[in-house]
């Protein structure tokens, strides 16, 4: 990128919102994945008009533009694979409106998830998706990846709450999609086309979310199972029981071992631990649901069932589940937090397969996941400086995703395709599906300037 072009970008966003210093470009070469590539410059636009002007320039000069939130992507969504300009939307961070009567919140894309949640709390409302990265990830990023979290089974994911968007298209036009009404079927659902499109179709500059009143009461319990089969039957029976837990998390044996090696939690190293949460308006109702769950745990030979009596006890039960990633990150050079989903009834089979896979390829692959919606996160631990380990990781990943598709699963439940899953796209999507996706990309971004090289959309 030449000086003239950089000066044109400076002129659009102002000197204070432009950088091409090496230290910044190195930072912007990475996200939370293993991928990396340096951009030519980075901008912090502060208005929709600036974003539009940047895109008009990019469309003319044909340089790549990569929109970015907090950079917490685990699949390389924000890595500037082909260079170009990073558009960091972190300075468009205003909560524009919270309107309880109309049940909506209007925000700029750079607002952090947790900041919106804090702003809603005094009204007794919340924005349910609750991604694990919520304390740092931005709502624009949440929209771009259709972020999910532990509450997915009961409350759905980001897509279920996006009512309307303002989007800058690759040619710089400003598009308004959807409606601020709770219900609208006026025209095509363009909103949903942008949600989860990983910044490849347009740049979201304003979001209108539906918000929910927050059930004030929760109940938490955990159970350990000697065998994956027992845990699997418990998960299935909970689905038949007529209730939907607000969370139902699974932790596998490898994870329990890793946690015990590195904390003093002293967990039983059984094949599976389940942590369940129910919520509601009254204590009686919340306990009614939890009693169903704990009796199903017991019926399926849980070796221990602990029901939290206080908020502190509940926090302690969650500690094991929530400590997993931190512990693993501390003791491994490299981690790939995988992401897949299978039909719920296949969760135990998939956990068994992953355990066998780890053995076959001599890898450590502890797994945690959202059993209530079939979304699992095997964490592949390895040393990236050892070419043999890297080769085994690649082979194991391919075997894993072959099995996922064979089980009727999907390549990604909540992290996205990005760069990480490109090699597997054709396993899940047939030729017609790939052709239609490419055709949509082509229609919106004919010169392939917006986050190019992602999602396997280049034939």
Helix (H) or strand (E) holding 288: helix 283-299
Residue from 3, 4, 15, 183 touching a second copy (CB under 8 A): that is 183
Least CB distance from residue 126 to a second copy, whole Å?
Answer: 11
Q: DSSP 3-state assignment of 458?
A: coil
Residue from 281, 295, 331, 406 touching a second copy (CB under 8 A): that is 281
- Judged by beta carbon, residue 40 or residue 230, the one nearer a second copy is 230
Q: Which of residues 416-435 bind a second copy (CB under 8 A)?
A: 416-417, 421, 425, 428-430, 432-433
Q: Which of residues 21-40 bind a second copy (CB under 8 A)?
A: none
Helix (H) or strand (E) holding 375: strand 375-382
Least CB distance from residue 437 to a second copy, whole Å?
Answer: 5
- Kindly indicate which of the ranges 176-184, 301-309, 351-359, 380-388 contains the residues binding a second copy, using the contact rule CB under 8 A: 176-184
- Judged by beta carbon, residue 323 or residue 367, the one nearer a second copy is 367
Residue from 78, 108, 255, 289 touching a second copy (CB under 8 A): that is 289
Q: How far is Cα 306 from Cα 315, in angstroms, rounded to an integer?
A: 12
- Burial (CB < 10 A; 0-12, 13-18, 19+), residue 38, is middle
Residue from 193, 305, 395, 399 touching a second copy (CB under 8 A): that is 193
> Quick one: three-class SS letters along 48-116?
HHHHHHHHHHHHHHCCCEEEECCCCCCCCCCCCCCCCEEEEHHHCCCEEEEECCCCEEEECCCCEHHHH
Residue from 114, 437, 447, 448 touching a second copy (CB under 8 A): that is 437
Residues 6+ apart with CB under 8 A from 43: 9, 12, 13, 17, 18, 19, 50, 54, 85, 86, 87, 88
- Judged by beta carbon, residue 108 or residue 289, the one nearer a second copy is 289
String marking each residue 351-390 x if it binds a second copy according to CB under 8 A: -------------------x--xxx---------------
- Kindly indicate which of the ranges 87-95, 274-282, 360-368, 381-389 contains the residues binding a second copy, using the contact rule CB under 8 A: 274-282
Least CB distance from residue 151 to a second copy, whole Å?
Answer: 11
- Kindly indicate which of the ranges 260-268, 275-283, 352-360, 379-387 contains the residues binding a second copy, using the contact rule CB under 8 A: 275-283
Q: How far is Cα 405 from Cα 416, in angstroms, rounded to an integer?
A: 16
Pick from 141, 138, 194: which is nearest to 168 by CA?
194
Q: How far is Cα 270 from Cα 251, in angstroms, rounded to an integer?
A: 10
Q: How far is Cα 111 from Cα 107, in angstroms, rounded to an integer?
A: 7
Residues 6+ apart with CB under 8 A from 435: none
Binding-site residue total for a second copy (CB under 8 A)? 92
Residue from 48, 82, 227, 345 touching a second copy (CB under 8 A): that is 345
Instruction: Establish if 48 lies at the interface with a second copy (CB under 8 A).
Output: no
Residue from 14, 216, 268, 326 touching a second copy (CB under 8 A): that is 216
- Kindly indicate which of the ranges 34-42, 114-122, 140-148, 350-358 contains the residues binding a second copy, using the contact rule CB under 8 A: 140-148
Q: Which of residues 1-20 bind a second copy (CB under 8 A)?
A: none
Q: DSSP 3-state assignment of 333?
A: coil
- Judged by beta carbon, residue 173 or residue 391, the one nearer a second copy is 173
Instruction: Establish if 295 lies at the interface with a second copy (CB under 8 A).
Output: no
User: What are the CA-CA distances from residue 342 to residues 183, 243, 286, 347, 371 (Å)?
Assistant: 31, 20, 28, 7, 10
What counts of helices (H) and strands (E) characterise the chain? 15, 19
């Amino acid at each position: 990128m030449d000086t003239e072009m950089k000066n044109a970008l400076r002129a659009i966003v102002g000197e204070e919102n432009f950088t091409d210093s090496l230290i910044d470009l190195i930072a912007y070469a990475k996200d939370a994945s293993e991928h990396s590539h340096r951009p030519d410059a980075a901008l912090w636009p502060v208005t929709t008009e600036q974003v539009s002007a940047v895109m008009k320039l990019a469309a003319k000069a044909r340089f790549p533009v990569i929109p970015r939130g907090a950079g917490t992507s685990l699949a390389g969504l924000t890595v500037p694979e082909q260079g170009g300009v990073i558009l960091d939307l972190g300075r468009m961070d205003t909560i524009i409106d919270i309107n309880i009567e109309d049940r909506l919140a209007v925000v700029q894309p750079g607002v952090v998830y947790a900041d919106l949640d804090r702003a809603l709390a005094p009204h007794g409302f919340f924005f349910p998706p609750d991604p694990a990265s919520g304390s740092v990830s931005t709502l624009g990023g949440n929209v771009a990846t259709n972020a999910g979290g532990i509450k997915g089974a009961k409350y759905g994911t980001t897509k279920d709450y996006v009512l309307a968007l303002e989007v800058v298209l690759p040619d710089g036009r400003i598009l308004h999609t959807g409606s601020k009404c709770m219900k609208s079927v006026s025209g095509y659902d363009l909103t949903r086309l942008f949600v989860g499109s990983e910044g490849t179709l347009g740049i979201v500059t304003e979001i209108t979310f539906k918000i929910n009143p927050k059930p004030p009461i929760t109940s938490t319990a955990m159970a350990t199972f000697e065998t994956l089969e027992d845990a699997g039957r418990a998960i299935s029976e909970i689905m038949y029981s007529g209730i939907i837990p607000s969370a139902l998390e699974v932790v596998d044996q490898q994870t329990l071992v890793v946690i015990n090696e590195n904390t003093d939690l002293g967990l039983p190293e059984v094949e599976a631990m389940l942590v369940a949460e129910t919520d509601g308006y009254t204590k009686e109702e919340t306990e009614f649901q939890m009693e169903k769950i704990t009796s199903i745990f017991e019926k399926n030979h849980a070796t221990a069932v602990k029901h939290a009596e206080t908020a502190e006890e509940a926090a302690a039960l969650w500690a094991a589940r929530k400590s997993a990633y931190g512990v693993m990150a501390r003791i491994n050079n490299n981690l790939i937090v995988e992401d897949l989903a299978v039909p719920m009834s296949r969760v135990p089979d998939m956990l068994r397969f992953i355990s066998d896979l780890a053995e076959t390829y001599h890898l450590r692959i502890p797994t945690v996941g959202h059993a209530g919606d079939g979304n699992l996160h095997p964490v592949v631990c390895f040393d990236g400086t050892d070419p043999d380990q890297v080769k085994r990781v690649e082979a194991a990943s391919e075997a894993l995703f072959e099995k996922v598709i064979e089980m009727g699963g999907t390549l990604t439940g909540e992290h996205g395709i990005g760069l990480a899953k490109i090699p597997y796209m054709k396993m899940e999507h047939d030729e017609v599906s790939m052709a239609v996706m490419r055709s949509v990309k082509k229609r919106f971004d004919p010169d392939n300037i917006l986050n190019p090289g992602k999602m396997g959309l280049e034939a």
